[in-house]
Structures are given as structure tokens and as C-alpha cells.
Structure 1
Amino acid sequence: MKDKIRKADEKTIDYIGDNLLEITIEELKELLK
């Protein structure tokens, strides 16, 4: 059970990290216009 939770947490962290990266890139593009 703990392994399942750990894997889910890793996926969640990866997902949040990817989204934060995308948001940051979009914001930088807006600033560079």
C-alpha cells in the first residue's frame, strides 16, 4: 500500500512540476513581448 501511495505522490509532484514549468514559460513569453 505504501508503495502505491509513494508512486502516486511522485506522479503528482511530476505533474505539478510540469505545470509550473509551463506556466513560467508562458509568463516569460508574455514579459518578453
Structure 2
Amino acid sequence: EYVEAYPQGRALITSLEKAAAGLRGETGTIITA
């Protein structure tokens, strides 16, 4: 729903333990519209 509501946005799926690495693009899954 978030990505549909904000087409310019991205959603990151990762664990809380790896959140910092996810924000750096090192881990996790990024969903774009």
C-alpha cells in the first residue's frame, strides 16, 4: 500500500538487526513502484 500511495517512494524489507545495513543498500529487499 505504501508504494502505491507514494510512487516516488521505496519500501525496504529487512530485520531490525540489519536495518542500518539495509539503509546502506547492503542487505534486504527494496520494493519500488
Structure having the higher helix fraction is: 1
Larger relative contact order (C-alpha < 8 A, sep ≥ 6)?
Answer: 2
Q: Which of the two has higher C-alpha Rg?
A: 1
